[in-house]
Structure 1
Amino acid sequence: MEKQQQKHDEVHHVLVLPFPIQGHINPMLQFSKRLASKGLKVTLVTTSKSMQPSASSIDFQSIDFQEGEATTNIDEFIRLYESLIPERLAQFIEKHQHRAKVLVYDSGMPWALEVAKRFGLQGASFFTQCWAVNAIFYHLKLGTLSMPSEEQIRTNAVVSLPSMPELEISDLPSTAYDKSGSYPALWNLMRSQFSNFQEADWTFCNTYDKLEHEIIKWLASKWPIKTIGPTIPSMYLDKRLKDDDDYGLHLFEPYTDLCIKWLNSKETGSVIYVAFGSIAGLTEQQMGELAMGLKSTNRHFLWVVRDTEQNKLPGNFIGETSEKGLLVSWSPQLDVLSHRAVGCFMTHCGWNSTLEALSLGVPMIAMPQWTDQPTNAKFVADVWEVGIRVKKDGNGIITKEEIQRCVREVMEGDRSLDIKRNSGKWKKLAIDAIDEGGSSDKNIEEFVAKITCN
């Protein structure tokens, strides 16, 4: 009897290893909740004691990585992580005798597949970015897209790729061509996602079929891929996981009561929500233009400004806008985006934030900074048509006049009705994808069935 129970646990057990930053942990944590809801035993392995999620359906275990907490430099962190964690993961699996069936790992850690195979586990690569971005890196890997020349970058040349809209160089992820930039280790990490992906048993991506249909169709003709998104808490989508109303992980303490009480006092669709994620930083000049732009719209705004960024604000800005604006260092973003008072979302277009806005039907003002954000912004404005993208002046600055223009166009201009209508369409399709019988739900069901049938 004990042997039968042990065999049952082995077959149904999945390990999940996310890259230890919030934007990568959140989607893999949500995927883990979906797997657990369908009967699998799921252990999420973290490598940061300061980021311990909470979810009663999942077992959380940590690998000691105290050295990584001593550096805030992205490149140093990545190099240290890749030098230490592969062997520590192997030691963890061997020590705990998990005998799991599958290791689901962040696609930026292709070495995890080798560790999985060493212990007889299947490997599942999990791409946290959209397939449009993944396809660009795939073409770079194949050589069907070359590194742009300085002349192409200067002239913002047009790039044509199968199944994709025409892209200008400025629409490409910065990490697709900026090898000599500030973060070479990050560049290498992005490119390494495709080093051995064809050897993985499963390939998952945090998107949904209808959102990127042509790209998915083209990529699926090359290798098996499965969409399993959008990976946001169930209570904001299909509502089938009754206790799943939060990611269960916050990098900073959100000002939930303050934000919601403030929003409750505002009219429907009247508030501009502004947030640029946990990493992106604006110059002091750009912060000043954005501040003056928001002020001059004469609209209510909720602006998330991290503590480390607040010294870049104009000295009298907070006092002069106290009747119109609320500034917080962090917010409960899902609660804010789903609030009736929010009329548009000014965003850096990180993929998680973009998916949240799409899933909740919120029009966007796209203000991308780096990495995958320019590509996401291109699709927001020109493919899904759920917002507009800001334009920089000749000095690379987004002026206060441009901020005013974008707010007017999204919230009251001629295009605003079409943008709102499209936002509602993609919201419905997001819910359909993850709901019972939807494309993402079927892909998750297929994975679970394959795990449990052996």
Structure 2
Amino acid sequence: MDPSSLQPIKTCHVVAMPFPGRGHVNPMMNFCKHISMTRPTTTLITFIVTEEWHGFISSDPRPANIRLVTIPNVIPSEIGRAKDWAGFIRASLTKLEAPVEELLDRLEPPKPNVIVHDTFLKWMVDVGNRRNIPVASFWTQSATAFSIFHHFDLFVQNGHFNVNLTEKGKEQIEYIPGVPKMRISDLPTPFFSPKGQEVFHDCMECIWLVPKAQFLLLTSTYELETQVIDGLQKEFVFPIYSIGPAIPYFNLNDDSASTYVDQSEPEYVKWLDAQPTSSVLYISQGSFLSVSNVQLDEIVAGVHDSGVRFFWVTREDLSHNEKKGDTKAIIVPWCDQLRVLSHSSIGGFWSHCGWNSTKEAIFSGLPMLSFPIFWDQTTNTKQIVEDWKIGWRVKKDDGSLITRQEIARLLQKFMDSESDEGKEMRRRAKELQVICQKAAEKGGS
């Protein structure tokens, strides 16, 4: 064939715009990395972040066909975001649109073929539609959580919105298509929490605008939420894709990723290497919201008193609670969470049950201890404990203080892998691990 007759490879230009929060930036970047590695010569990805987030992730290894571009911050710092959470949400919904539009208008060719945007950046739907660019709404919580918000009108009709949990928290709900029955107290906290309801209407507007997009991407594994995903597919006229966990599983034992993955061995990995198999409890309560100081002191004391080996990642200063010379414990401010969870010495995960952490635990085949704090974490907990049967609740239904004695006893029982209850929970966790890992393989769902 005459080389001059060959058509050049067409580049697909993807513009990705995450909501400026860790639980949103990370899954979208993982999704983009996955695309870029499977189509390295035919895909260009423009990843839009605030200046703050550029500082957080610009030094992270990434494929060459992912370029970072920045827009101004909506709130000066992460500290400001934590102090005024509702203000930060509203600023993201109102102040980012103009700079993003300006950025899109000055992007170098080729013109974007698709915009992948976080569902909570509702204005991006109109931005894409005005430019005749297809838009994919990227949902970073479970498909179950999406369906609950999507069917909000049913909760209002049945008198199950903004209820008193003391009176109605245990009432069962079983009218959401594809969603197994659950208690009102298992709904996302904005359905009954004053703090969540500060921005509830703003977030519902984001859900109501999803039908104006051309695609919906669910960061879930189809086999984990089959019925709810099938139910959603019947309600929308456009394609819905369950794209898998959107966690960095492609970095685990993958030579193809070695071109941009840091191969150095952190000290915490060396510590894990020295621990017996399945003996360590990994503890992380997330990076944003936290428990009260009184409850934190009880958790710290209970963990130490339990005698279990533990690996605790936290930004809290726990130095006053550390036991000098304790070789059965390590406390770090940050770690590569999936790498740690996948280590053979880890035997369980104490978590706030954010969706990303939940997916990483399942992918690693670990049972979980659940201590939800906010938003969809209560719903994820219900799925973990009741639907998938791979964990136990730590937090009490009434939110009362859990004492150090209760925590110590619970941890000793949880880390006993020889008990019948422990064996069944771990068997189920390994079963789900196989399902999710097969789904993520070539040809998987």
Same-fold status (TM-score > 0.5): yes
Q: Which residue of 409, 422, 431 maps to 1:425?
A: 431
Contact (CA 8 Å) 1:236, 1:245: kept in 2 or not? Answer: no
- Show the counterpart of 1:85: 96
1:116–1:212 Cα change, 3 Å: same
Contact (CA 8 Å) 2:252, 2:339: kept in 1 or not? Answer: no
1:321–1:181 Cα change, 3 Å: farther
1:256–1:396 Cα change, 3 Å: farther
Contact (CA 8 Å) 2:136, 2:215: kept in 1 or not? Answer: yes
1:144–1:197 Cα change, 3 Å: farther
- 1:163 pairs with 2:178: yes
Rounded Cα–Cα distance in structure 1 between residues aligned with 2:258 and 2:43: 17
Q: Which residue of 191, 205, 214 maps to 1:176?
A: 191
Contact (CA 8 Å) 1:137, 1:176: kept in 2 or not? Answer: no
1:204–1:153 Cα change, 3 Å: farther
Rounded Cα–Cα distance in structure 1 between residues aligned with 2:196 and 2:138: 26
Superposed counterparts of 1:438-453, under 5 Å: 438-439=444-445
Contact (CA 8 Å) 1:272, 1:342: kept in 2 or not? Answer: yes
Rounded Cα–Cα distance in structure 2 between residues aligned with 1:240 and 1:216: 33
- Show the counterpart of 1:287: 296
Contact (CA 8 Å) 1:46, 1:63: kept in 2 or not? Answer: yes
Give the RMSD, CA atoms, in angstroms. 2.6
Greater shift after overlay, 385-394 or 82-91? 385-394
- Show the counterpart of 2:311: 302
- Show the counterpart of 1:32: 32
Superposed counterparts of 1:92-131, under 5 Å: 92-98=103-109, 99-131=111-143
Q: Which residue of 342, 346, 353 maps to 2:346?
A: 342
Rounded Cα–Cα distance in structure 2 between residues aligned with 1:188 and 1:314: 41
Rounded Cα–Cα distance in structure 1 between residues aligned with 2:249 and 2:160: 40
Cα distance, 1:60 vs structure 2: 2.2
Cα distance, 1:323 vs structure 2: 3.5
* Structure 1 SS opposite 2:32: helix
* Structure 2 SS opposite 1:124: strand
Q: Which residue of 245, 250, 257 maps to 1:242?
A: 257
Rounded Cα–Cα distance in structure 1 between residues aligned with 2:196 and 2:383: 26
Rounded Cα–Cα distance in structure 2 between residues aligned with 1:266 and 1:245: 29
- Show the counterpart of 1:404: 408
Cα distance, 1:411 vs structure 2: 2.3
Q: Which residue of 187, 198, 222 maps to 2:235?
A: 222
Deviation per residue, 1:135-155 (Å, 9 max, x gap): 110111565665535445534
Deviation per residue, 1:354-413 (Å, 9 max, x gap): 100100111111111111101111111111111111242866122223323432343223
Letter in 1 for 2:293: E
Superposed counterparts of 1:193-232, under 5 Å: 193-223=206-236, 224-232=239-247
* Structure 2 SS opposite 1:68: coil
Rounded Cα–Cα distance in structure 2 between residues aligned with 1:240 and 1:193: 39
- Show the counterpart of 2:203: 190
1:375–1:395 Cα change, 3 Å: closer
Cα distance, 1:238 vs structure 2: 8.8
Q: Which has the higher contact order (CA 8 A, sep 6+)?
A: 1
* Structure 1 SS opposite 2:95: helix
Q: Which residue of 138, 147, 171 maps to 1:135?
A: 147
- 1:388 pairs with 2:400: no
Contact (CA 8 Å) 1:295, 1:321: kept in 2 or not? Answer: no
1:40–1:314 Cα change, 3 Å: closer
Deviation per residue, 1:187-214 (Å, 9 max, x gap): 3443233122112111101001100111
1:292–1:147 Cα change, 3 Å: same
Cα distance, 1:25 vs structure 2: 0.9
Identical columns (%): 28
Gaps of 5+ in 1: 249-254, 440-454
The alignment of Structure 1 onto Structure 2 pairs a total of residues equal to 420
Greater shift after overlay, 232-241 or 101-110? 232-241
Letter in 1 for 2:412: R
Rounded Cα–Cα distance in structure 2 between residues aligned with 1:436 and 1:44: 25
- Show the counterpart of 2:67: 60
- 1:46 pairs with 2:63: no
Rounded Cα–Cα distance in structure 1 between residues aligned with 2:219 and 2:24: 10
Contact (CA 8 Å) 1:368, 1:377: kept in 2 or not? Answer: yes
Rounded Cα–Cα distance in structure 1 between residues aligned with 2:15 and 2:164: 46
Rounded Cα–Cα distance in structure 2 between residues aligned with 1:189 and 1:238: 42
- Show the counterpart of 1:233: 248
Cα distance, 1:116 vs structure 2: 0.6
1:236–1:64 Cα change, 3 Å: closer
